[in-house]
């Protein structure tokens, strides 16, 4: 049955303004002044991190935030917009990482190797997403989740066992193209006290690719296709009755999400110059992604920015802050031991429990609700 979209892009039928940016975003603005300020602050901070902060930790943290914004946004497309609970998302993340790692390690540090590895990884991810979608999305949600968990576990074991290809538990280390190496100098003199070297170029390559990927995902969820996904999430039987093939739309959503996660995995491998089971295929990463989606706000896309930023900042700096606090409170009974840096995971967990309790609809949802 052929039908026109029953879930239009917006109240004006999807007409865009003359602005290219407004058209690309489908007029899906943050709808909260506070949220807008926070998002702009994160964007500017990420763009200016190399010039604002010295040392490797701030730059590495900013790079991970960029990667995880794409990864979490791609998972939000599945969970928040389509209602699919999948535990195989890190599998596609790992495929992207291994794709570029294997080609760079085997065929040399060239841009052609990167392109070839990424293309093969995207192709493999698409095939797996289609296979999982067609075979599994007809079953009930809990059984689909278990199937994806089994497939992801099998992929992690396979990556660990195929040591001649993947490096096994040790993973793969590789060289990057000359332009992305720290020794490369684009300009002979520093700019604002910062050397314009290959590491800086690698960071901005990652930053702009992540920004474009996020905007693309934002555009997708606010297209007629995205509206159908939301309708399926709310009531799949009604969507089916209107003539939409639910399994086909869910499978397409799985493919788009998998491709975005694959790109994120490739970016992570390029930044680390290494890829292994623990960096992209670990189940703990899947748990982190779920936390970021819930904290930021499911079904908002902007929540991926907030969730990834807060989570990774806490993960990188909470232990440092606790160490400073413990030293400051030295001599006071109990307190120094209570906030000892070895207990940072306990406090990190407590912070997230509090945040979920205080913001049941996510931070984005609460900020939007506060200004209605």
Beta strands (DSSP E) in 231-308 are: 274-275
Task: Report the C-alpha gap between 240 and 231 in whole angstroms.
Answer: 10
- Tell me the mean pLDDT in the region 252-259: 94
The CA-atom distances, in angstroms, between 53 and each of 61, 78, 147, 164, 325 are 11, 35, 44, 40, 22
* Cα–Cα distance, 5 to 123 (Å, whole number): 29
Residue 372, pLDDT score: 67
The per-residue pLDDT for 2 is: 41
DSSP for 59-116 reads HHHHHHHHHHHHHHHHHHHHHHHH----S-HHHHHHHHHHHHHHHHHHH-SSHHHHHH
- What's the mean pLDDT in 254-272? 96
* Residue range 38-71, pLDDT digits in tens: 999 999 999 999 999 988 899 999 999 999 999 9
The string of pLDDT tens digits covering residues 143-183 is 788 888 888 999 999 998 988 999 989 999 999 999 999 98
Taking the C-alpha atoms of residue 169 and residue 158, their distance in angstroms, rounded to an integer, is: 11
Note the pLDDT of residue 172: 93
Report CA-CA distances (Å) from 281 to 89, 97, 220, 234, 338: 9, 9, 26, 31, 33
Look at 13 and 195; give whichever has higher pLDDT: 195
At 194, phi and psi to the nearest 5?
-115, 130
Q: What pLDDT is stored for residue 23 in this prediction?
A: 54
Residue 95: pLDDT band with limits 50, 70, 90:
very high
- The pLDDT-based confidence of 9 (bands split at 50, 70, 90) is very low
Predicted pLDDT of residue 30? 83
**Residue 55 vs residues 38, 59, 62, 202: alpha-carbon distances, Å:** 24, 7, 12, 16
> pLDDT grade, residue 269 (50/70/90)?
very high
pLDDT at 188 over 90: no
Give the separation between CA 57 and CA 62, rounded to whole angstroms: 9
Q: Cα(178)–Cα(198) distance, rounded to whole angstroms?
A: 8
Question: Which 8-state DSSP code applies to residue 277?
Answer: I
Between 208 and 343, the higher pLDDT residue = 208
Would you say 283 and 155 are in contact if contact means Cβ atoms under 8 Å apart?
no
Q: Check pLDDT > 90 for residue 368.
A: no
The domain defined by 23-370 folds into ABC transporter involved in vitamin B12 uptake, BtuC (1.10.3470)
pTM assigned to the model: 0.89
- Contact between residue 268 and residue 97 where contact means Cβ atoms under 8 Å apart: yes
pLDDT tops 50 at residue 290 = yes
Provide CB contacts within 8 A for 115, sequence distance 6+.
none
Look up residue 197 and give its DSSP letter: B
pLDDT (0 to 100) of residue 203: 96
| CA separation, residue 356 to residues 87, 290, 301, 339, 351 (Å) | 21, 12, 17, 22, 9
What was the pLDDT predicted at 341?
Answer: 76
Which among 353, 345, 294, 291 is positioned nearest to 315, based on CA atoms? Answer: 345
Of 93-102, 199-208, 233-242, 281-290, minimum mean pLDDT range: 233-242
Whether the Cβ atoms of residue 106 and residue 337 lie closer than 8 Å to each other: no
State yes or no: pLDDT of 299 exceeds 80: yes
Residue 13: what pLDDT? Answer: 42
- pLDDT range class, residue 209, cuts 50, 70, 90: very high
Q: Any idea which of 6-10, 91-95, 209-213 has the lowest mean pLDDT?
A: 6-10
């Amino acid at each position: 049955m052929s039908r026109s979209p029953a879930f239009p892009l917006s109240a004006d039928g999807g007409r865009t303004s003359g602005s290219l940016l407004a058209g690309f975003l489908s007029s899906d603005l943050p709808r909260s002044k506070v949220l807008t300020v926070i998002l702009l602050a994160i964007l500017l901070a990420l763009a200016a991190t190399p010039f604002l902060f010295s040392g490797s930790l701030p730059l590495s943290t900013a790079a991970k935030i960029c990667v995880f914004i794409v990864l979490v946004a791609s998972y939000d497309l599945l969970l928040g917009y389509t209602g699919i609970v999948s535990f195989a998302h890190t599998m596609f993340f790992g495929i992207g990482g291994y794709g570029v790692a294997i080609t760079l390690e085997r065929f040399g540090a060239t841009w052609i190797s990167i392109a070839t590895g990424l293309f093969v990884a995207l192709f493999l991810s698409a095939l797996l997403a289609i296979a999982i979608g067609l075979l599994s999305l007809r079953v009930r949600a809990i059984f689909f989740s278990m199937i994806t968990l089994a497939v992801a576990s099998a992929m992690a074991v396979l990556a660990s066992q195929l040591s001649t290809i993947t490096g096994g538990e040790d993973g793969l280390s590789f060289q990057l193209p000359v332009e992305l190496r720290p020794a490369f100098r684009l300009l002979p003199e520093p700019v604002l006290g910062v050397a314009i070297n290959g590491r800086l170029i690698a960071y901005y390559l990652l930053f702009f690719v992540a920004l474009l990927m996020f905007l693309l995902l934002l555009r997708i969820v606010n297209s007629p296709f995205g509206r159908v996904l939301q309708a399926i999430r709310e009531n799949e039987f009604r969507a089916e009755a209107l003539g939409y093939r639910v399994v086909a739309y869910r499978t397409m959503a799985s493919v788009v999400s998998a491709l975005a996660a694959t790109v994120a995995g490739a970016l992570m491998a390029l930044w680390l110059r290494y890829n292994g089971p623990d960096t992209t295929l670990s189940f703990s990463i899947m748990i982190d992604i779920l936390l970021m989606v819930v904290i930021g706000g499911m079904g908002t896309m902007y929540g991926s920015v907030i969730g990834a930023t807060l989570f990774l900042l806490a993960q990188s700096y909470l232990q440092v802050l606790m160490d400073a606090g413990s030293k400051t409170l030295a001599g006071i009974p109990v307190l120094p031991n209570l906030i000892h840096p070895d207990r940072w995971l306990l406090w990190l967990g407590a912070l997230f429990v509090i945040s979920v309790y205080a913001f049941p609809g996510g931070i984005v949802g609460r900020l939007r609700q506060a200004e209605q």
